[in-house]
Amino acid sequence: MTIDYDNLASGLNSTAIHLLRRLRLQDARLGIGPARLSALSVLVFRAPCSLGQLAEAEQVTSATMSKIVSGLVQSGLVKRQQSAEDARAVRISATRKGRTLMKRGQRARILDLSARLENLDPTEISCLQGAVAILRSMETT
Amino acid sequence: MTIDYDNLASGLNSTAIHLLRRLRLQDARLGIGPARLSALSVLVFRAPCSLGQLAEAEQVTSATMSKIVSGLVQSGLVKRQQSAEDARAVRISATRKGRTLMKRGQRARILDLSARLENLDPTEISCLQGAVAILRSMETT
DNA sequence: GCATATTGTTAGCATACCTAACCAATGTCA
DNA sequence: TGACATTGGTTAGGTATGCTAACAATATGC
């Protein structure tokens, strides 16, 4: 059996981009875009970290992450603090406002994507969960 | 059994954004980004269409799609033609160069994402294929 | 014929990505 | 100890991509 990897790759590209476009609409109501939300969730659900660590977790350059963080700081969702171990580095953590927004953000997702997920049967759900896990493991390969 | 829809939704968001970031790096070598590639693939693998139809297929506004198409036209990958049925409308189709690129693009994906897909076992592959199909059907819900 | 709806383009704005350049702090080695 | 290399982060410049608003041309329906 020949597996059409190209077709699958193309399908992943297209579904990913469409999914993000839909989520972008939802996120706009929170006044925050996908990149900022993704970075903020790392800080809220994992731990405060350095800018370089955050950039690595999010797979962008530190230049890009510096800008994303600046936007988050401006919105009062995260704060930059001088690192105790290294004077070059900064430690970035979520503010109370940022943590609250993540909770509200999750609520908004329930109304849209999660609601659509609820229309699926359990095999489809576990299929998606499996796909997420696979793609995650591929990220670290 | 309680399904954590929020966690799955969040996982889908995060894996989608990371996947696209990785693809963006690859696509830059082809001189085309994910949005243009997605639009081009609609024209190549489905059919030429109007700008509004393309915008709808890609779930963006016609203003956005006008810009994406302008970039594709500038790269010689698609062409705009006056519609025969409606003087307001344009008909957008892939050029030979655009069709060739889709083939070459697919080849380049083999070297990156497709290559990583090749490391997966068949159950993982069919899981991803299933996920793409599920997400596609969710798009039209 | 005229009011309204449709189609697509452009302007303006914001976000998100990159590379390049730069500076300060830290680490390494003779 | 000091010269040099590396690290960490910021800013500038540029491109792409998303939106809304405004507009012109065309199509539709009364």
Residue A31, pLDDT score: 74
Q: Which of A24-28, A55-59, B81-85 is the least confident region?
A: A24-28
Mean pLDDT in residue range B16-26: 74
Residues on chain B touching A110 (C-beta within 8 angstroms): 5-6, 9
pLDDT band at B14 (very low <50, low <70, confident <90, very high): confident
How far is the C-alpha of A27 from the C-alpha of A38, rounded, in Å? 11
Long-range interactions of A27-36: CB distance < 8 A, separation 24+? A27/A105, A29/A108, A30/A101, A30/A104, A30/A105, A30/A108, A31/A75, A32/A75, A32/A77, A32/A101, A32/A105, A34/B13, A34/B17, A35/A60, A35/A68, A35/B17, A36/A68, A36/A71, A36/A72, A36/A75, A36/A77
B:8-47 residues touching chain A, CB 8 A cutoff: 8-23, 34-35, 37-38, 41
Mean pLDDT in residue range A109-118: 68
Q: Nucleotides of chain C within 7 Å of a protein C-beta?
A: 6-12, 15-21, 24-27
Residue B110, pLDDT score: 40
pLDDT digits (tens, 9 = 90+) for A25-45: 666 666 788 889 889 989 998
> Is A38 within 8 Å of A102 (Cβ atoms)?
no
A121 compared with B108, residue with greater pLDDT: A121
Q: Does domain B7-139 have CATH number 1.10.287.130?
A: no
Could you tell me the two tokens for B123?
């159950």
pLDDT higher than threshold 60 for residue B10? yes
CATH fold of A5-139: Arc Repressor Mutant, subunit A (1.10.10)
Residue B45, pLDDT score: 85
pLDDT higher than threshold 70 for residue A91? yes
Residue type at position A81 = Q
- DSSP-assigned letter for residue A112: I
A1 compared with B30, residue with greater pLDDT: B30
Mean pLDDT in residue range A62-70: 95
Q: What is the ipTM of this complex?
A: 0.82
A:40-69 residues touching chain B, CB 8 A cutoff: 41, 58-60
Q: Angle formed by the axes of helices B5-28 and B34-45, to 10°?
A: 90
pLDDT band at B52 (very low <50, low <70, confident <90, very high): very high
pTM score: 0.83
pLDDT band at A113 (very low <50, low <70, confident <90, very high): confident
pLDDT band at A64 (very low <50, low <70, confident <90, very high): very high
How many other β-carbons are positioned within 10 Å of the β-carbon of residue A47?
10
